[in-house]
Structure 1
Amino acid sequence: MKLNTSALAVLAALPLMSFVASAAPTAEDLQDRVFGSVFYEVYSPDSDKARSAEWQNVDNGNGRGLNIGYRINKEWAIRAEFARQDLDKATVGYDVKGNRAGVDLMYHIDSLPVYVVGGVKNFTTGRSASAANVGIGANFFVLDNLAIFAEANRYQGISQSFADTGLKVGLSYVFGSAPQAAPTPAPQPEAAPAPAPVIGDADQDGVTDDKDQCANTPITDKVDTVGCSIFTETSVRIDLNAQFDNDSSVVKPEYHADIEKLANFLKRFPNTDVEIAGHASNVGKPAYNMALSQRRSDAVADVLVTQYGIDRSRVKAVGYGVTKPRAAGNNAAAHAVNRRIEGHVTASVKEAVTR
């Protein structure tokens, strides 16, 4: 294919455009704005079209058209295009006229005036056909809203096989105005520093109120760095021992006071439990003594539960028979000592450290 003199004039004009307008608007100024353009085009169809009667033997020619588009952001824009084409015939006869219409997606390269373009078009020049186009162009602003642009495209047939080229020059106008930056506020005079507040110590524990995490600490307590009482933890223990008559599981009245003390201890420390361990002397059969020791532990447990209100789940009654004697020997004194129950409870107590 060959270009006519109009195409050469377009190509010659492209280098001159780079010297136009030294103060172009920035990409930020152009985004979110509508633009429109008019252009003149030099168009060169595929050389096969000149030899094809189906294409009416179309040859080089020109066109005129317009675009309307929207700059989506700094990089991307979309536009619609319509062009009226007037192409020569390779054979003798009239010129071939038709239209080209379609849409393009444009990508602007950083801060350069250059963009790349791609889209789809429909042709009625010569015959109806569709094509995909890809090209490159440049905008050269002469005013904030007005630019000269040049663009070259290749059109690759979709519905028919062909490869055309086109060169455009034109004017593009950007509607509206660039967003104005908010004015920088004038610096305000620095306010005089406020006097430092006086911080008190309401509970008089030596820690000021802004750091005190425990208000109303007793004045007698020693406190830590955040005003909370310091505690020490000690262990307390209570023991219960009760003796039984020979072959008896009846709790003697003199041991009720000790059982009450154990009950009060359990109420004071509700997280504690107690095991009542029943024992027997080594007289008679072991199985009988095991059952006897269990009856003795059950008897004391019943007193704790029924008379002093201790929850049954906190009292464990276990009979050990003769397996854990307190006194050795097979005499009356040893037997008397071993006829017993035992109970032991230990709890932890936190006590404040005084000043």
Structure 2
Amino acid sequence: MTNIYQLNQLCFAYANKQALSLENLQIEEGKITALIGANGSGKSTLLNILAFLASPSQGEILFRNQSVNKRDLIQYRRRVGFLAQKPFMLAGSAYDNIDFALKIHNQLQRPEKILKVLKQLDISHCIHQQAKLLSGGELQKVALARILVLAPEVLLLDEPFSYLDQSSAQALELFLQSYTRKTGKTLIFSTHDRLQGFALADHVVALADGMEVMTPLINVFHGEIKQHQFHSGSLCIQLPEAISKGRHASINPQDIVLSTTALESSMRNHFLGRVIMIAEEMGVVRVNVDTGVIFKVLITYQALDELKIKLGEQVWVNFKSNSVVVF
């Protein structure tokens, strides 16, 4: 495994308020990494640091095993591509916007490169359209094309799916997976849809209050611990005896086992509920079960076929006590 980024004892603050505190974070080269967490958790701050647009208050950043100094930030910025949540378009056509990026980097064979990247993203029809008049999905793709045409070593995307309809989001997901597989480049993106991030990425970095937590932050419940149980309203989750403090509990969606009958097993948590959603999610199946609270579960197509569950039917949610992360 080769790490393209390594962050050591990194902190970042806005006006004396700590926004990010990461003891040790490694991001693997050639893989897809998702940053997930609530608003204000530090996702955008971390992306800005990874894009070398901001410098940490303290700590060290290694890029390809080289320590990054403030005086070298411009040099490193040229090696990464950063797509903001609301990308800015220059006056002119889609072609003009992409051509400008190539011009300022002194690139040759610009028309060929522009036509190629527009074709890759299936937006050749936008080539002469005014960029600022494009639809949300088309504008996002043109902004992405403006980055990809420069062939950056790392692609950083801030909430790239937020303003896309479902079909556009799915098309972008497929493209990004294909892009990383074919090019071997590194992709890092943030998302508010935690299950989407978990399904699309090779690795997930979950942030809460600027710190990394060892849970995908899916199936998060708020409550308190009493006698090795986590109580959250009407929900009572059995915990390992070693856990004694924490106000939040989270269960990995892939650690949950669904069954149509009550299971007799070593799993200590069992909840009967009703299936309220079944959807495809990048090669796996997302199932939401309402047990009084909503459990989000990721299963395989084979498991779905074997269970033969349908919307509205009853199903058991089962998981081990050591599958629960408390923080």
Richer in helix (by share): 2
TM-score, normalisation: structure 1: 0.15
Greater Cα radius of gyration, structure 1 or 2: 1
TM-score (norm: length of structure 2): 0.16
- More RCO (CA 8 Å, sep 6+): 2
